[in-house]
A and B are shown apart, each in its own frame.
Chain A
Amino acid sequence: GAVVSQHPSRVICKSGTSVKIECRSLDFQATTMFWYRQFPKQSLMLMATSNEGSKATYEQGVEKDKFLINHASLTLSTLTVTSAHPEDSSFYICSARDTDVSYEQYFGPGTRLTVT
Chain B
Amino acid sequence: DAKTTQPPSMDCAEGRAANLPCNHSTISGNEYVYWYRQIHSQGPQYIIHGLKNNETNEMASLIITEDRKSSTLILPHATLRDTAVYYCIVKDSGYALNFGKGTSLLVTP
Q: Could you tell me which A residues sit within 8 Å of B by CB distance?
A: 1, 4, 6, 34, 36, 43-46, 49, 91, 93, 95, 102-110, 112
With contacts A43-B102, A46-B98 known, is A102 near B43, CB below 8 A? Answer: no
Bound: A43/B38 CA distance, A: 10
Q: Could you tell me which B residues sit within 8 Å of A by CB distance?
A: 32, 36, 38, 41-46, 49, 87, 93-94, 96-102
With contacts A43-B102, A103-B49 known, is A95 near B42, CB below 8 A? Answer: no
Q: Are B43 and A109 in contact (CB under 8 A)?
A: yes
Query: With contacts A44-B38, A102-B93 known, what are 8 further pairs, Cβ within 8 A?
Result: A34-B96, A43-B100, A43-B102, A46-B98, A95-B43, A103-B93, A106-B46, A107-B43
Q: Are B96 and A44 in contact (CB under 8 A)?
A: no
Output the residue of A44, A95, A102, A107 with the most chain B CB within 10 A: A44
Query: Taking the nearest CB of chain A, how far is it from the CB of B83, in angstroms?
Result: 16
Bound: A18/B87 CA distance, A: 32
Query: Can you list 15 A-B contacts (CB < 8 A)?
Result: A6-B43, A34-B97, A43-B87, A43-B101, A43-B102, A44-B44, A46-B96, A49-B96, A93-B43, A102-B93, A103-B93, A106-B46, A109-B42, A110-B41, A112-B41
